[in-house]
Amino acid sequence: MNPLFSYRHLYYFWVVAKEGGMARAADKLDMAVQTVSTQVRELEKSLGYELLKPAGRGVALTEAGWAAMHQAELIFQLGEKLPDVVRAAVGTPSVRLAVGISEGLAKLAVHQLIKPVLATANLRLICQEDEFADLLGDLALHRLDVVLADRPAPSNPNLKIYTHSLGSSDLSWFAPPALLAQARRGFPQCLAKVPVLLPTSHAAVRPRIDHWFERLGIKPNVVGEFEDSALLRTFGAAGMGVFPAAELVRSELVTRYDVKKVGNCDGVQEHFFAIAAHKKVLHPLVQKLLPSGL
């Protein structure tokens, strides 16, 4: 390696490449744009190749830049694992499982889906919630071991990942005590008058719920839409409205939120998927999450 090569320069280049521009990288690093630009030019000088080229208002990787970016990803992934490696060397070894959770997936369902591994001795569970596309990117870069989602991964030849179905659950309607009698009277047509809470379009089940209403000729009295499923249940339990949830979490939902089932959302199911990087050998705990035989 060139003795002038600097990991600091490589790190700045890595951030610029990920952010897509000098200005965004400078904001991320809390540094001046000129300083970041100088550091990247020093890296190019030490390697002897141009790594970035102008692209609109930002920058794009050259062929040499793609090669450098690939190596930088590997280097900094190893760097992220260093604290764990050192900790394991001097303490009780832990079994690490990094799980990405799609923001459209119900949080109570996540707990049910992860249950098969929770009894693992010395488990160190890391849960990261983010947008679906960002989680798939982290999975492809091996920052995550598995992504739990309410939809399968889209077909993309650039992402070596694959999807396993974890099954599905019928959807039902639940109500807090204050709305229970009103919601059960003339269900489901009463949902045109009773206040209704729904997930936003971030949830894959939302279009199926909308179609259910259309099929029954019901215009629901929607008083709230929530991107976060935990918030939806919290506001529903507090009396704001009737809301849908998977039968999978019915017992926990009734116990934790003191709500009651109103009726079925006939024909509507919520689906669950585990998405993993395309490796010949799966993480042993990811294998435990999958239905037997897969």
**Which run of H or of E encompasses 274?**
strand 260-277
Per-residue model confidence (pLDDT) at position 7? 85
Residue type, 288: K
Query: What pTM, to 2 d.p., does this model score?
Result: 0.67
Per-residue model confidence (pLDDT) at position 99? 95
**Which run of H or of E encompasses 169?**
strand 161-175
What are the mean pLDDT values of the chain's consecutive 10-residue runs (294 residues total)?
A: 70 88 87 89 89 86 90 84 75 82 88 91 91 88 91 81 92 97 96 97 94 97 94 95 96 93 96 83 84 59
**Is the sign of the CA dihedral 187, 192, 193, 196 positive or negative?**
positive
| Helix/strand/coil for 105 | coil
Per-residue model confidence (pLDDT) at position 1? 43
Q: What are the residue ranges spanned by the domains of the chain?
A: 7-85, 95-162+273-289, 168-270
- 73-78 long-range Cβ contacts below 8 angstroms, 24+ apart: 73/14, 73/141, 75/7, 75/10, 76/11, 76/14, 77/141, 77/142, 77/143
Per-residue model confidence (pLDDT) at position 89? 67
For the domain made up of 7-85, the CATH class stated in words is mainly alpha
Query: Which CATH entry fits the domain spanning 95-162+273-289: 3.40.190.10, 3.30.1330.60, 3.90.1150.10, 2.160.10.10?
Result: 3.40.190.10
| Residue partners of 50: CB distance under 8 A and separation at least 6 | 44, 62, 64, 65
- Distance from C-alpha of 192 to C-alpha of 261, rounded to nearest angstrom: 18
Per-residue model confidence (pLDDT) at position 293? 44
Q: Which token pair is 102?
A: 């799609």
7-85 and 95-162+273-289 agree in CATH topology: no
CATH number listed for the domain at residues 168-270:
3.40.190.10
